[in-house]
Chain A
């Protein structure tokens, strides 16, 4: 028997349990972000975010998913006070926004810097805008932030000459200038090479390990599965699902896949064992596993003389959950 489904590998439990501090100690009741009925109707009538009720537990790594135009960036802009909601309320870290923001690092809709300044001069500029940071140790902070994203060698280079991936890294460095309690990252791995993507993932895990809550929007579902403890899925401005990754997978049972030349025979046995939704196609038979133990099913197949070439249990990937909730179509939400 071979276990070959990549999906199965990606749904193993997150390595780190959500490290939420006890609710009694936390003024926000254990939540880093709370929104109630958060709504944005742009001038012109476009409803970008529609009655969003979101709770991001402190200490979680929260994946904020949704198709293009589903309202992720607009939500992030409202959370950070860049865009005024037309309805509802929101709170970061249980504090008034002006007091919360110094403890929040953010990447919103990609990097934006002064092209004629070097990387470190750019970071110094944004550090100077943070009222919670003093100028005396700014240079050291900037140096450390650049080091964390692997940009030390390019610190003196003009931003204009940075590659897309270097720009993205600089934006993450800016979000890490001071110790943060919450990181809000809008598609942080956009434009990064595979190494860069892995590094960002490792960085997020490391930051989350320190107890920082991470709220990350992404299109890369496999990545969210590897990084996040929680996720929420947006569609047309509404939150259509949210919870821990395990909760999101629940309700969609795993499928058993049997690779065999004896299609009809195998299908008959699976059906007689009580597996639901048995389908045969090409060289394989699939069925909903339900409560059955795969090893028992395999033993039964072999006992009855079916030539089993491979057998795998495929749990639904986050991608399948996502597509199930937001639809297959290629059209953007608009």
Chain B
């Protein structure tokens, strides 16, 4: 027994969590379903770019389409505007809603917990994994858009939405900031989806519930009588990244949005933790 025991090397707490996270990331980024979603979303900027290039910008002088045709960076902004309200959140919801419910559905949850992964650790790793998927997705879309833009449209100084002009280098920095902002918004959504995921053993149920929530909030946002509610809804905050294309950048608005994302994350991660640590695993 003692010789056998020596075969199992001791591991530190952080290396334990890191190893589980690596295993989780490997599952997520090797899973065909997730790769297909990323590929489809990455194709959207290419399609938009090609269409704008072919159709041109007649009838939209000074508008966003014209700006896109005029500068390679603007395609990234347009693509994010198209994808952030629905398609990217749906992709994040698929991964995050699957987090706990998917494991419960296949029964692997009971073996992860008797391994023993630890409920708190497993939940943290699952959430972190969903956040990293959101970040990777945003980066993929932005990279595809940037490359397409550079190929199809002239590079050079960027004219901002507020009319001022900045250098290409600063433009790239602002795109990077936008990626961070959108990823934070997706992290907030991931918290909601992971929380819903702890309430069911059917992954598709948690995913569908998250998507329904997104659509309902989008509808609520469109009702003028509910204007007071809009600042508290995630979709309102998601598209706030256009502030990063103005001069000066409305920092207080940006901070407010990041604060809102943080509040969602704290609230829904707490809910998920309370639910998951007290739950009977009968699957």
Mask of A39-82 contacts with B, CB within 8 angstroms, 1/0? 00000000000000000000000000000000000000100111
Question: Does any Cβ of A come within 8 Å of B16's Cβ?
Answer: yes
Contacts of A211 in B (CB 8 A): 1
- Asked whether A98 lies within 8 Å of B10 as measured between CB atoms, the reply is no
Looking at A84, A134, A211, the one whose CB has the most chain B CB atoms below 10 A away is A134
Question: Does any Cβ of A come within 8 Å of B51's Cβ?
Answer: no
Question: Does any Cβ of A come within 8 Å of B167's Cβ?
Answer: no
- Asked whether A83 lies within 8 Å of B280 as measured between CB atoms, the reply is yes
* Chain B residues with a Cβ closer than 8 Å to the other chain, count: 36
Question: Does any Cβ of B come within 8 Å of A154's Cβ?
Answer: no
Question: Does any Cβ of A come within 8 Å of B107's Cβ?
Answer: yes
Given known A137-B8, A141-B7, contact A112–B111 (CB-CB < 8 A): yes
Given known A112-B106, A128-B19, A179-B5, contact A84–B278 (CB-CB < 8 A): yes
- Asked whether B5 lies within 8 Å of A101 as measured between CB atoms, the reply is no
Residue in B9, B11, B108 whose beta carbon sits within 8 Å of that of A131 in the complex:
B11
Residue in A77, A126, A140 whose beta carbon sits within 8 Å of that of B112 in the complex:
A126
Distance in Å: Cβ of B121 to nearest Cβ of chain A = 8
Mask of A105-136 contacts with B, CB within 8 angstroms, 1/0? 01011101111110000001111111111111
Distance in Å: Cβ of A100 to nearest Cβ of chain B = 9
Given known A98-B118, A131-B16, contact A81–B113 (CB-CB < 8 A): yes
Mask of B259-283 contacts with A, CB within 8 angstroms, 1/0? 0000000000000000000101110
Question: Does any Cβ of B come within 8 Å of A102's Cβ?
Answer: yes
User: Chain A binding site: helix, strand, loop or mixed by DSSP?
Assistant: loop
Given known A131-B11, A211-B1, contact A114–B27 (CB-CB < 8 A): yes
Contacts of A140 in B (CB 8 A): 7
Given known A82-B281, A83-B282, contact A124–B23 (CB-CB < 8 A): yes
| Distance between Cα atoms of A181 and B198 in the complex (Å) | 32
Contacts of A166 in B (CB 8 A): none
* Chain A residues with a Cβ closer than 8 Å to the other chain, count: 41
Question: Does any Cβ of B come within 8 Å of A104's Cβ?
Answer: yes
- Asked whether A129 lies within 8 Å of B112 as measured between CB atoms, the reply is yes
Contacts of B111 in A (CB 8 A): 106, 108, 112-113, 126, 129, 174
CB-nearest residue of chain B to A105:
B114
- Asked whether B9 lies within 8 Å of A125 as measured between CB atoms, the reply is no
- Asked whether A129 lies within 8 Å of B106 as measured between CB atoms, the reply is no
- Asked whether B282 lies within 8 Å of A179 as measured between CB atoms, the reply is no
Contacts of B113 in A (CB 8 A): 80-82
- Asked whether A102 lies within 8 Å of B116 as measured between CB atoms, the reply is yes
Question: Does any Cβ of B come within 8 Å of A178's Cβ?
Answer: yes
- Asked whether B114 lies within 8 Å of A108 as measured between CB atoms, the reply is yes
Question: Does any Cβ of A come within 8 Å of B122's Cβ?
Answer: yes
- Asked whether A114 lies within 8 Å of B108 as measured between CB atoms, the reply is yes
- Asked whether A82 lies within 8 Å of B114 as measured between CB atoms, the reply is yes
Contacts of A104 in B (CB 8 A): 114
Mask of B1-29 contacts with A, CB within 8 angstroms, 1/0? 10011011111010110011011000100
Question: Does any Cβ of A come within 8 Å of B132's Cβ?
Answer: no
- Asked whether A108 lies within 8 Å of B27 as measured between CB atoms, the reply is no
Contacts of A110 in B (CB 8 A): 107
| Distance between Cα atoms of A108 and B278 in the complex (Å) | 20
Distance in Å: Cβ of A116 to nearest Cβ of chain B = 7
Which A residues, 134 to 150, have Cβ-Cβ distances below 8 Å to chain B?
Answer: 134-137, 140-141
Distance in Å: Cβ of A289 to nearest Cβ of chain B = 44
Question: Does any Cβ of B come within 8 Å of A210's Cβ?
Answer: yes
| Distance between Cα atoms of A81 and B120 in the complex (Å) | 14
- Asked whether B281 lies within 8 Å of A83 as measured between CB atoms, the reply is yes
Residues of B within 8 A of A (CB): 1, 4-5, 7-11, 13, 15-16, 19-20, 22-23, 27, 31-32, 106-108, 110-118, 121-122, 278, 280-282
> Which A-B residue pairs are the 3 nearest by beta carbons?
A112-B107, A129-B115, A128-B23
> Given A112-B107, A129-B122, A134-B11, list of 19 further CB < 8 A pairs?
A98-B116, A113-B106, A113-B111, A114-B27, A114-B106, A128-B22, A129-B116, A130-B115, A130-B117, A131-B13, A132-B10, A133-B8, A134-B10, A134-B15, A135-B11, A140-B7, A179-B1, A179-B8, A210-B1
Question: Can you list 28 A-B pairs with a CB-CB distance of less than 8 A?
Answer: A77-B110, A77-B282, A80-B110, A82-B280, A82-B282, A84-B280, A98-B116, A108-B111, A109-B107, A112-B110, A114-B27, A115-B106, A125-B23, A126-B111, A128-B19, A129-B112, A131-B11, A131-B117, A131-B121, A133-B8, A133-B11, A134-B9, A135-B19, A136-B9, A141-B7, A178-B8, A210-B4, A211-B1
Residues of A within 8 A of B (CB): 77, 80-84, 98, 101-102, 104, 106, 108-110, 112-117, 124-137, 140-141, 174, 178-179, 210-211
